Structure 1
Amino acid sequence: MNTTRLLNNLMVENVVDSLNFYISSLGFELVMAVPEGTEDIVYSLVEDQEYGFAVIKNGDVELMFQSLSSIKSEFPTINIDAASSRVIFYMQVIGIDELFASLEGKVDIVKGLHEAFYGMKEFYIKDFDGYILGFAEKA
């Protein structure tokens, strides 16, 4: 086996809310989305439309969002009561100070901007579904 790529598919309560957070707060862009209950692929969002799945991108980082209802439908034998996280997404960025300043007071910061002993300047936030996102730049 030769693994060439790893994409994270995040279980979320509401795909639109997650998209709005990542696009407006973190500068991601929509790659594609699938309206809830369909197999149609769309490349722009329609107001008041619910989505079961979406892909976003910022630089080389891509994330997928899938609604809990869509996951329960696709994997009926899996017992999923709510979105939860046992993972921290750690993203290296350029412009950590500017990013922190743009998010401060607007998002749930769980650990403020600091320089870690391993030479990274970093901070951590929590998104709408409780996922912890770390942002770092070489100090």
Structure 2
Amino acid sequence: MESLSPNIFVKDIRASIQFYQLLGFNLIASVPEEGDNFVWAMLMNGNVTFMLQTFESLGDALPEVNRTDGGSLLLYIKLKNIRDFFETVKDQITILHGLEKTFYGATEFSVKDINGYVLTFAEDE
């Protein structure tokens, strides 16, 4: 295996891209390549890559994919300089849990994206 790139389903890709840009992600690919009616997009920040896709683009394929917002998926993202990153984003997004040291030694905080997904950012300080 070489990599893992989660594909999360959203209702509004443009709004989702704008949210993730607040977290420092860059749009690196989309379908279509131009315009505002994206059905798929790939974002990247450092070595972290994930995809956004609309529910509508699935059509009737993969009925196993739940068509509701958010879900039981939590994206766990490791980074460096977590305290500086937290200070940069804390007033722009919904913080679920502020900075705290865990029993396993990581410093973490959790946020909720505009689609209901939970992201936990962590650093082994």
The TM-score, its normalising length taken from structure 1, stands at 0.83
Task: Give the conservation status (yes or no) of the 8 Å contact 1:94–1:137.
Answer: yes
- The letter of the residue matching 1:93 is L
> What is the aligned partner in structure 2 of residue 27 from structure 1?
24
2:105 is equivalent to residue 107 of structure 1:
no
In structure 2, the gaps of 5 or more residues are none
In structure 1, the gaps of 5 or more residues are 36-41
Aligned length: 125
Larger radius of gyration: 1
Render the CA deviation track for 1:51-70: whole Å, top value 9, x for unaligned: 10000111111010001111
2:11 is equivalent to residue 13 of structure 1:
yes
> What is the aligned partner in structure 2 of residue 124 from structure 1?
110
Identity of aligned residues (%): 30
Instruction: Give, in angstroms, the shift of residue 109 of structure 1.
Output: 0.5
**C-alpha RMSD over aligned residues:** 1.6
Measure, in 2, the Cα distance between the counterparts of 1:97 and 1:31: 26
Q: Where has structure 1 moved over 3 Å in runs of 4 or more?
A: 76-81
Measure, in 2, the Cα distance between the counterparts of 1:119 and 1:64: 30
